[in-house]
Chains A and B, each alone.
Chain A
Amino acid sequence: MSEMWINMGPQHPMTHGLWNLRVRIEGELIRDVDPEMGYLHRGIEKISEDRHYNEVITLMDRCCYVAGLAWEHLYIRAAEQALHVDPPERAEYLRVLCDEFQRLGSHLMWYAAFVQDLGLMSPFLYGMRDRDLVLDLFQSYTGARMTYEYMRVGGVRNDLPPGFTASARKVLDWLSDRFREYDQLCLGSTIFRKRCDGLGVLKGPDAVHHGVTGPMLRSAGVKRDLRKDRPYAVYGQLDFDVAFADGADVTARYLVRMEEMRQSVRLLRQVLDWLDRHPGPVIAEHLPRWLGAPYAPIGLEGYLLKRNYPKGVGFSAVEEPHGEALAYVVNEGGEHPYRVKFRSPVFANLSAARTYLVGYHVADIPPIMGSVDVCVGEVDR
């Protein structure tokens, strides 16, 4: 049978976002793939150059619709370094709280989308249902369910509402029960194993070569996690294990993500305990005075030039739910960042598609791409 190219995307149920996977197929076999990104480019990096440091946060939530807080954390760390600000410890713990809850929410979203790609309908609803509890928690302390705008340069906007930690523990208990149910629906099903085992193999050296990070890298047996290898925030003081597996296939990625969720629950319990015991300020006292207010006073430009505010460069690396995200912020002394640059983990993971897709069946594309956990918002920015 002759070969043909088919376009899976930009509007296709498999893509989970706006991107295009061009596939050359021979019958049901994949001969070649060509991932095309860029359909969702909004120029976030460029817009950031025209915004005040705190206003960039509103864009970070739009980088990734399932991991907004992780991206806020990423940007804030770089911005704080560029502006020479140190957040108080409680703010750091609150940010880890955000990060780990966001990891839970993102992985639950991934679980839902992934099983839906396999045709499993009920777990899709289960995953979304349980993610909703995480969103409830976010709403109760950030004020929104998706676009949080919670972190500020020098700390976070507000402290936790009363009774939050008790509610959060309730949710964590509920979630840890659910993980067993998820495993029964997926790992317990032989059809699931037959669909996932040995699929989309991306070996460790290939993964490193392509710059693949996050659960995809750890599923290939490479034990790299920024939270351990290059501890930021307060991860150094918390006790957790790096989830990894050796299979390098779809099942291994499933195992790694499920284990990461369990580790997140473990981390969150420690963070909640700490937050209960240590009240304190959540935003730095010695902020640059014009940053203390969240608004942009008139006439600031000339003022900053007169004050000769110290310049700086900020760089941060955060283990985002999808992988390693990097941010680079240049402060040239003005009221806006001079340059903001991000490194999206999913972009690298997607770019390696040819390595882990060629040779499998067309029907394998949804589970394999589902196991990559695509979030196009951050790919194109």
Chain B
Amino acid sequence: MTEEGAPGAGTTTEENPVLYVARPMATAARQFVKSLVRPSTIVYPYERLEDPRFRTEVAVASGRPIGVGQVWDNYRGVHALNIATCISCNLCAFSCPDLCIEMVTVPGPDPKKPKKCPQIDYGKCSYCGFCSDACPEGCLTMTTRYELSTPRRAEMVYSPQRLFDVFRSKLPMNPIRLERPENEDRILLDPPLCIGCNACARDCPTQCITMVDVPKTDPKPGQKPAKRIWKEPVVNDSDCVRCGTCISVCPKECLFWGGPP
């Protein structure tokens, strides 16, 4: 059947009374002697896989490749949020398949413009990491923390401040950062519809929309050309994080996704 010492296809019982119980018992006894030195179990609260000392000392003693590789570096655990660099773009909340992220108001540098940062309900979170993949500023990352148990359900909800505390605890962060695609879609404007209301520029998290003056050039038939100067948004594509906030706030739905076909 195969080369690598396949045990053969026949399933006849070998009648060897000596080996009736001896072979499995010998195997178990061998394991017993091995485990007397050190069992393979990790004594969890005292030994931890993520502890480098454990990986070098204890794991070697048991003779089996426990915690091979850098097991913990990529682990997706509790999030860390750097409030300072968060731009309130909403992308984490939009990308969450479990709808466990809610944007809540936190005191920002500008008291007039309150800042919104993600608050995560770990009762719902599935640790898929889509939010940290989506974060354009790299301020929402996942750490190696995995101990979350609490007697109260309300404590499973991590406010931005608590996430910031996780960030400040300097836990190892998930180092994997996704590259943004080269030719991503851009925000385009349908000029005839724009009323120059400034909503998009006001709410743009990255301040990449500037309102530029344009003369209103298409008067309705039979009217005099308007003397007023209209403003129209211009998006700086290199700064834009493609969050779509401008599209959602536009009262006239004159902004839309577009790009080279």
Contact = CB atoms under 8 A, between A and B. Distances in A.
**A and B, direct touch (CB closer than 8 Å):** yes
Contacts of B94: 295-298
Given A292-B181, A292-B184, A297-B242, A55 B97 contact: yes
Interface stretch (B108-116, B121-129, B219-227, B230-238): B121-129
B71 A249 contact: no
Contacts of A293: 134, 180-181, 184, 242
A170 B65 CA distance: 7
Given A184-B23, A184-B27, A246 B244 contact: no
Contacts of B24: 184-186, 188-189, 192
Given A295-B95, A298-B245, A244 B142 contact: no
B36 interface: no
Contacts of B184: 289, 292-293
Interface string A44-79: 000000010011011000000000000000000000
Interface stretch (A88-96, A137-145, A360-368, A373-381): A137-145
Nearest to A164: B69
A346 interface: no
Interface string A320-357: 00000000000000000000000000000000000000
Nearest to B97: A55
A167 B40 CA distance: 18
A198 interface: yes
B164 interface: no
A300 interface: yes
Interface in A140-155: 140-144, 147, 149
Interface in B8-45: 8-17, 19-21, 23-24, 26-28, 31, 40
A194 interface: yes
Contact of A255 (B3, B11, B129): B11
B27 A188 contact: yes
Interface residues of A, number: 79
A264 to B, nearest CB: 11
Interface in A236-267: 241, 243-247, 249, 251-252, 255, 258-259, 262-263, 266
B68 to A, nearest CB: 4
Nearest to A140: B69
Interface in A213-243: 221, 241, 243
B244 A299 contact: yes
Contacts of B19: 188, 190
A168 interface: yes
Nearest to B93: A295
B122 to A, nearest CB: 14
B183 A147 contact: no
A135 B8 CA distance: 30
A69 B259 CA distance: 34
Contact of A244 (B9, B11, B64, B176): B9
Given A289-B185, A295-B91, A163 B70 contact: yes
A243 B2 contact: yes
Interface stretch (B72-80, B154-162, B193-201, B207-215): B72-80
B82 interface: no
A275 interface: no
Nearest to B12: A197
A215 to B, nearest CB: 13
A313 interface: no
B183 A289 contact: yes
A311 to B, nearest CB: 17
Given A144-B127, A258-B7, A289 B181 contact: yes
A141 B244 CA distance: 31
B66 interface: yes
B130 to A, nearest CB: 5
B150 to A, nearest CB: 21
Nearest to B98: A58
Nearest to A307: B261
A280 to B, nearest CB: 14
A31 B69 CA distance: 52
B125 to A, nearest CB: 11
B4 interface: yes
B64 A174 contact: yes
A221 B11 CA distance: 13
A302 interface: yes
A321 to B, nearest CB: 18
B174 interface: yes
Contacts of A252: 9, 11
B6 interface: yes
A163 B256 CA distance: 45
B247 interface: yes
A43 interface: no
16 contacts: A133-B68, A143-B76, A149-B129, A170-B68, A189-B21, A197-B12, A198-B11, A243-B2, A245-B1, A255-B7, A255-B8, A289-B184, A289-B259, A297-B243, A298-B94, A298-B248
Given A55-B130, A299-B244, 16 more contacts: A51-B97, A55-B97, A57-B128, A129-B64, A136-B69, A185-B28, A189-B21, A190-B17, A191-B21, A194-B13, A198-B11, A247-B11, A290-B257, A294-B130, A297-B185, A303-B257
Q: Which 10 A-B pairs have the closest CB atoms?
A: A298-B244, A295-B95, A292-B181, A188-B23, A167-B69, A247-B11, A167-B68, A295-B134, A303-B257, A140-B69
